[in-house]
Structures are given as structure tokens and as C-alpha cells.
Amino acid sequence: MPDPIVLSFEEFWSWLKGHPNCVLSAGTVDTVIFDHDDFHWTFSEELNPEGHDEMLVQALRGKQLVAEILIPRGRIIHVQGEARDQEFVFECFEEDDGGPVASYFVALSHGYDPEEHSETQGWVH
């Protein structure tokens, strides 16, 4: 099995925005949102009341919000991706008193390709 790749959150987020149809699940240590034929995934950014960026990973059915995860951009120190079974899991790590902790994840149907970025090539899948 190949070694895990490590990315900055900005690299990962820029790439992820081009792959909404490739997401299989997303979650935290407490919650998982699974893909469904009736759902589609969106990714957006907004400022919280304190002025910090929060990244939104949302599952929608039509225009109805089914579930969302807010990822605080400023707290993510890096993203680590690796193949697991039939999917590729990208974990977002935060710094904790005991060291880095995987707090958020996004599982996709394929791995990271540095040549595919939504901002440079348009939507990929």
C-alpha cells in the first residue's frame, strides 16, 4: 500500500471543490454523512461571527439541506490522504494537547491528483 500523502488544507480544499460527484461520505469523529443517489454535495466558505473562515461540506436533496459539516479552516494543520479498502480517505488534522488529531474526514472514490484543480481546469468529474 502506498504511503499516505500529506497536503495543506488549502491544496486539499481547492482540489476537493472539483470533485463533488466523487464523495462517498464525510464526517467527524461523532458523525458521518453517507452519499445517496438522491443527494448531491456542495462545498462553500463563509465567515463565522468572529471573522474566521468556516468551510461547509453539505449534502442536499434538490435545494433542501440534508446535513452539513463545518470545518474551521484556521484550526486544520494538514490533511492526510490514503487508500482504504475501496475508497480514499482524506483526514483533516487539528492540533490538540496530545498532538495532531484527525477531526474531520472526506472519503472519495479516487485518490488525489495534483494535476486536477477546480480553479485551473474547471470541474473535473
Cα separation, 16 vs 67, in Å, equals: 18
- Examine residue 125 and state whether it is found in any structural domain, yes or no: no
In the chain, the percentage of residues whose pLDDT exceeds 90 is: 73
Q: Give the predicted TM-score (pTM) of the model.
A: 0.86
CB 18 within 8 Å of CB 120: no
- For residue 30, the 8-state DSSP code is S
Which helix or strand (DSSP H or E) is residue 60 part of?
strand 53-61
> Is residue 121 domain-resident?
no
Domain that holds residue 33: 1-76+102-112
120 occurs within a structural domain: no
Inside any domain, residue 22: yes
Does residue 62 belong to any structural domain of this protein? yes
- Please report whether residue 88 resides in a domain: no
Indicate whether 123 pLDDT > 60.
no
Residue 119 forms part of a structural domain: no
Whether 106 is in a domain gets the answer yes
Question: pLDDT at residue 7 above 90?
Answer: yes
Residue 124 has pLDDT above 70, yes or no: no
Give how many domains the chain has, as a whole number: 1
